[in-house]
Structure 1
Amino acid sequence: MITTRLKSHSIIIQALVTISLSTPVWADEQDALNFSAGAALTFEDNLFRLPDSANTRQSLGKSQRSDRIFVTNAGIKIDKPYSLQRFQVDLNFVDNRYDTYSYLDYTAFNYRAAWLWQLTPNIKGTLSADQQQVLNSFSEFRDFNNQLNIRRSIQTNENRIFDIDGLIGGGWHLLGGVSELRSRNSVAFNAVGDFVQTGANIGVKYIAASENSIALIQRAYNGEYQGRIADAPNQLDSGFKQRETEVQLQWRLTGKSLIDAKLGYVDREHDHFSSRDYDGVTSRLAYNWQPTGKLGIITSLSRNLYSYQQAANSYYVADTFAITPVWQVTTKTSLSMRYDYTKRDYRGAVVAVAEQREDDVQSLMLSADWRPTRTIKVTGSLRHEMRNSTYNQPNAFGGDLEYDANTASIGAQLLF
C-alpha cells in the first residue's frame, strides 16, 4: 500500500512538471544567475546489496530488502565573467528520505566555488573549492563484525585546488599546482579511513595547431589518516606518501573521432608498515566516435589502483571496460545507455589467506532525458547491477559478497 508520505512525494513531482510546462521561460542556462529546484523518486529492490542467501531479518531487523527514496533539491548557480576573470558558484542542498529504512535519511550540502583567473592571455589558472556529500554504498562500506551496513555512513569529500597554465611559446605550456583533499566518513571504517592529503604537481604540455595535445605530469602527495595512530597488530598506518607520473594524450583522428588516453605509474609508501605499500601502472584509453550528428559512442578501457585496507588486502586493482552510446532523438529528447564491467583483484594481504579475493562487477543503465522547455528537464532511468566474488565468510549477510540489484528512478528539475 502506498503511504501518505509517498503520495505527497508523487504530488510534488507532478506539480513540478505541470508548473514548468505552463510557465514562460524564466531563466536560461547562460544567465549569470540561476536558481533550481527538483524532485526524484527512486525504487531500490536490494538497497543493502545483499546476496540471496542473506538472513535479512537477522541483519536488518526486517525482511524487506527494497525501499523507495524520495529526493528533493534546491540550488543556486552563479557564472559571471568580468574582464579576463570568471567567477563561478554552485550551491546545492539535496534531501534524501527513505520510506522503510528512515534512519538512512540525510541532507547533503554540495558546493563548488571557482575563480578562473587570467593574468594575461598566456598565463591563466583556477582557484577552486568544492564539497560533495553522499551515502556510502553498501556494496563496499560494510563491516561484518560490526554490521556497518545496517548503519548510515555519510562520506564528505572536500577539495581545494590552485593550478596554473603558462604558455611559453610554440604551443608549449608549463603546468603547476597545489591541492588539498579531505575525506571523512560519519561512521569509522578502517578499510577506507578518514584522511587529509596535500600535494603538488608540475608538468609540461604541448598543444598543436590542430588542438591535439600531449602532456607529462608529476604529482607528489603527503597523506595523514585522521584520528588514527599507528596500529601494529592490524598494520593500520597513520600516514602515507604517494608519487604519480602520468602521460596524457588527446588526439583527433578525424572530424568524427577522438582518442583520449593516459598512462601513468603510482607508488604509495606508508609511514610505518611497508606491508601496506603498493605500486603499479594506471591507464585509460577512450575512443569517442560520433558517426552522425545525433549519435555518439564513447568506449573506454582503464586500470586504476585503490587503497582498501583489511586483513586480507591492502588495495585492489580495477580493470574496467565501459561503453556509452547517446542518441539525440530530437532537440528535446535524448536516450542513452551505459554498460560497465570491472574486474577487481584484491592484493596486499597482511595475514595468510587461502585465496585472494576477486570480484566481477557489472552494471547496465538505460536513461532518458526530456526538455520540453529551457527551464525544465525530466529524467528517467533503469539500472541493473550485479557482483560475483570469491569472498566467502559465514555471517548473517549470507556468507559472500555476491548480489543482484535493480534501480528505477524518475525525476524533474526546474530552472528559474
Structure 2
Amino acid sequence: MLIHHRYWLAPSTLLLLWSAAPAWAQKDEPVFQLNAGYSLLTDSNPRRVPAGTEDQIGTTTLGFNFSTRQSLQQFELDLNLIDYKYQNFDHLNFTARNYNAAWRWALTPRMHGNLTSDRRESLNSYFINTDQKDSPESSTEVPGVLRTNTNTRFDGVYELDGVWRVLGGVSTSKLTSDQTDSTAPVSGTDAEVNSADMGLRYAFTSGNALTYTARTSHGNYLNDGTFNESFSQRDNELRLHWILTGNTTADISAAHISRTHPDARLDYSGLNTGVKLNWNITGKTALAAGWMRELTSDRHDAGADSYNYNSTHVRTNRFSLGPVWKASAKTVVRLNYEVAQRDYQGSPTGLDAATQRSDTLRNISLAVAWQPYKHVTLGASLQKATRTSNVVNLDYGSNMATVSAQFSY
C-alpha cells in the first residue's frame, strides 16, 4: 500500500518508458540479459520554484536480468545501478541500487501465486519533487533526500472451478529517507506498513473478470517529530476487467478506504475510483486513456512554515491521454498528456488555516524511440511540466529535453 505519491520521475525511468515498445512489438527475451544505458536531461527548472535555474542531469544505467522456468515455477531477478550526475547541483549526485525479484510459484495448475520483493532508491529533495508541498524560495544547497522504498509480498490464487477464484495475500512495505550528503534520517513522511487481503474473483468465459478484495493495513510513521504515531486502514475494493471489443479493453475500479489514527483529527475516509481504456486502433496505432480519483495521506501544519495551509490528506483527480504510433518496424512515437487537480483537505490541529491549498499540475511530453539494431535503442523527448497553486510561491514551470541510448544483450 502506498502512503505517499511524491516521486520525481528520474531520467532513467523516462528512458525505460520511452524505449519500451507497445504490446504488438514485444518479443521473447533471453534467459540472461545485460542492459546499459545513458541519458542526458536538460531541465530549465529542476528546483521546481517560480524562477528556476537550468541544469543538466546525466544518468548512467547498468543492469542485469535473469529469468528461468523450472516445471511449474518461474524465477525472475532484475538488478540495476543508476548513477545520477548534476552539472550545477552536484551535491545531489548519487547512485541508486535497485532490485526486483519474483518467484511465480505453483503447487498445481489450479493453485498458484507470487512471492515478490523489490527495492527502489530515488532522489526526492525539497526542490526536485514536483508534488512537494514545501518548495523553498532560495538556498540551492538544500541537501538532497534519498528515498528508499522496499516492498515484499506473498499472494496466492486457488481456482475453485472454471470461473471462481479465491485470492489472498500479505505484504510489507517501508519508505525511509536519508540526506545524500550524510546518513542522518530525515523527519517527514517515512512509514512502515503491513497489510493482509482476501478476495473473490469471477472470471467470465469471455475473458472479463470481476474481483472483490478486502484489505486491512497497519502502519507507523517514522522520524516524524510532529505526528509520530500509528494508523490503521481498511479498504474494500471492486475491480472489473472488461473486454469491450477485440481491440479495446477497460479496467474499472472503485474502493472505499477508511484510515484511522489515535488522534481522530487525522482520520479520513472516502472513495478511490478509476477507469483505464486501452484501444489498439490499427496495427500501428494505439490509444490509452485514464481517469482516477484518489485519497492519499499528506499532513501539514500551517504553523510549521510560511505556507499557511493545513492538511491531513489530499484528494487528487487525474486524467491522462496517451496515443502511440508505430511509425516503422524500428520507430515508435509516443505523446502523453496528463492533468491533475490536487485539493489538500483536513487539519492536523483541528484549526482552519487562512488558505485551503489547491494545485493544478499539467504535464505533456513527446517521445521517439528508434531501434536501428537488435540490441540498441535510441530515444529523444520533449516535456513541459507546470503547477499552479492558490498558495503563494508554489507555482512553477519547467521545460525538459532528453536524449538517451540503451544497449541490451
TM-score tier (shorter): 0.7 to 0.9
Q: Does 1:225 align with 2:216?
A: no
Contact 1:223 1:239 in 2 (8 A): yes
| Alignment correspondent of 2:376 | 376
TM-score, normalization by structure 2: 0.86
1:281-316 Cα shifts (integer Å, max 9, x gaps): 001111211221111111111011111111111110
* CA drift at 1:107: 0.2
| Counterpart pick for 1:85 among 56, 65, 73 | 73
| Alignment correspondent of 1:198 | 194
| Counterpart pick for 1:265 among 241, 248, 256 | 256
| Alignment correspondent of 1:6 | none
Q: Does 1:33 align with 2:23?
A: no
Instruction: Look at both structures and tell me which one has the larger radius of gyration over its CA atoms.
Output: 1
Matching of residues 165-184 of structure 1 within 5 Å: 165-184=157-176
d(CA) in 1 for partners of 2:44 and 2:137? Answer: 25
Contact 1:48 1:149 in 2 (8 A): no
RMSD over aligned CA atoms reads 1.8
| Alignment correspondent of 1:16 | none
* CA drift at 1:149: 8.2
Matching of residues 54-203 of structure 1 within 5 Å: 65-136=53-124, 137-141=128-132, 142=134, 144=136, 150-187=142-179, 192-203=188-199
Aligned length in residues: 364
SS in 1 for 2:46: coil
| Farther off after superposition, 78-87 or 373-382 | 373-382
Q: 1:189 to 1:352 in 2, by over 3 A?
A: farther
* CA drift at 1:373: 1.9
1:147-182 Cα shifts (integer Å, max 9, x gaps): 798220111100000000110013110000000001
Counterpart of 1:316, as a letter, is: V
Q: Does 1:286 align with 2:276?
A: yes
Contact 2:222 2:228 in 1 (8 A): no
* CA drift at 1:389: 0.3
Contact 2:64 2:78 in 1 (8 A): yes
Matching of residues 361-372 of structure 1 within 5 Å: 361-372=361-372
d(CA) in 2 for partners of 1:105 and 1:92? Answer: 17
Contact 2:165 2:200 in 1 (8 A): yes
d(CA) in 2 for partners of 1:325 and 1:204? Answer: 34
| Alignment correspondent of 2:329 | 331
| Alignment correspondent of 1:411 | 404
| Alignment correspondent of 1:303 | 293
* Structure 2 residues not aligned, in runs of 5+: 1-26, 180-184, 302-309
d(CA) in 2 for partners of 1:143 and 1:254? Answer: 46
Matching of residues 211-250 of structure 1 within 5 Å: 211-228=207-224, 234=226, 236-250=227-241
* Structure 1 residues not aligned, in runs of 5+: 1-27, 57-64, 393-399
Q: 1:99 to 1:145 in 2, by over 3 A?
A: closer
1:338-364 Cα shifts (integer Å, max 9, x gaps): 100100110012332122100000000
d(CA) in 1 for partners of 2:330 and 2:137? Answer: 50
Q: 1:45 to 1:148 in 2, by over 3 A?
A: closer
d(CA) in 1 for partners of 2:173 and 2:141? Answer: 25
